[in-house]
Structure formats: C-alpha cells, structure tokens
Amino acid sequence: MTTKNSLQVSEPDSASLHREPNPRQRILVVEDDAAIRRVNAEILTCSGYQVDAAEDGAAAWDALQLKKYDLMVTDNNMPRVTGVELIQKVQAAGLALPVIMATGALPDFSRDGSLQPAVTLLKPYTLHELLAAVKKVLRAATNSLEGIAPASNWQIQPLADRFQP
C-alpha cells in the first residue's frame, strides 16, 4: 500500500499484521502529519487495538478527558501543544499513561528526567518497529499491574465460611 506522501507500508511474507482484537487495549495516536497519523492508526487497528487519532496535542488532551487509554503514541513537533507539553499535562493530571514518542527530532528531556517516554522512535521508523514498541510498552504496563491486580483465578471466600466451627 502506498499513500499520497510516498509512505510505503509493506509487510514481510512471514509476518501477518492481522491479530485477534483486544478490546481492553486502547491507543491514542497523536500526529500532525495526516498520512503518518492514518497509517499508524490503520496498522494498530489491523493489529487488534482500539485506536483513536488526534491531529495535535490539544486535540489529544481533549480526547484524554473523554476516554481512558492504555498507551499514547505521540509526535513532538506539533502545533498548539507539543508532545513534550502533552506529556507534562498528562503527568500533572496524575494520569498513569505510558507514552511512545515517535518523532523526527529527539526533544531535550535532560531538564526533567520524569518526562522520559517509555520508548522513543526516531522517524523514519518501520511499521514493525512501531508494533514492536507498542507490544513492549503494553506488556510492561500489564506486567506492572499484575502485582496489584488480583489474578483471574482469584476468589473471594465469604467471611462466614472462614469462621465456621
């Protein structure tokens, strides 16, 4: 598939991009370049994720007020609100949201190390690099939640059963 901006989407013969849907994993793609935004959203959707897209950080912030996301993939250099500013807003609001920064130029995170995204992808990146980063970050986020969430086979025993003579 080739888009108008000469982005080429190709898939190795050995890998299928179509996966079983996972309705629990919702991703917000934030990108001001319409072609990149569309391709990223399509590849993630075809891989089984629920995907919403925003054209800049301001639109992404509005989306974050309406829905809960498991991951945000954002560019940095965007009009109105940059990716770094968006991460700052997310952290200031106390949202636990992993972030992949997919950008053409690395922002300076040295002033505030807490703004460091989970993964940084430099453009141009391949769609397989994007998918690998998404899987890695979502897996890490899921693994960190397993320590506080009950296992799927966890059962509650009524207190009355515990205190029977």
SS3 23: coil
Least confident of 33-47, 85-99, 114-128: 114-128
Of 10-19, 83-92, 133-142, which range is least confident? 10-19
Is 97 exposed, middle or buried (CB count within 10 Å of its CB: 0-12, 13-18, 19+)?
middle
Phi-psi region of 64 (alpha: psi -120 to 50; beta: other; left: phi over 0): alpha
Longest dimension (CA), the chain: 75
**Percent of the chain residues past pLDDT 90, beyond the cut:** 61
Q: Say whether pLDDT at 11 is over 50.
A: no
Q: Is the pLDDT of residue 156 over 80?
A: no
DSSP assignment of 44-84: HHHTT-EEEEESSHHHHHHHHHH---SEEEE-SS-SSS-HH
Confidence of residue 3 (pLDDT cuts 50, 70, 90): very low
Cα 95 from chain centre = 13
Taking only the tens place, the pLDDT of each residue in 87-121 is 999 999 999 999 999 999 888 765 665 677 889 99
Mean pLDDT score, 39-62: 97
CB 24 within 8 A of CB 70: yes
pLDDT at 55 over 70: yes
Look at residue 141 in the predicted model and tell me its pLDDT. Answer: 87
- Report which of residues 5 and 66 the model is more confident about: 66
Check pLDDT > 50 for residue 85: yes
* Spatial separation of the C-alpha atoms in residues 86 and 65, rounded to whole Å: 12
In the chain, domain spans:
26-142
Domain over 26-142 is classified CATH 3.40.50.2300: yes
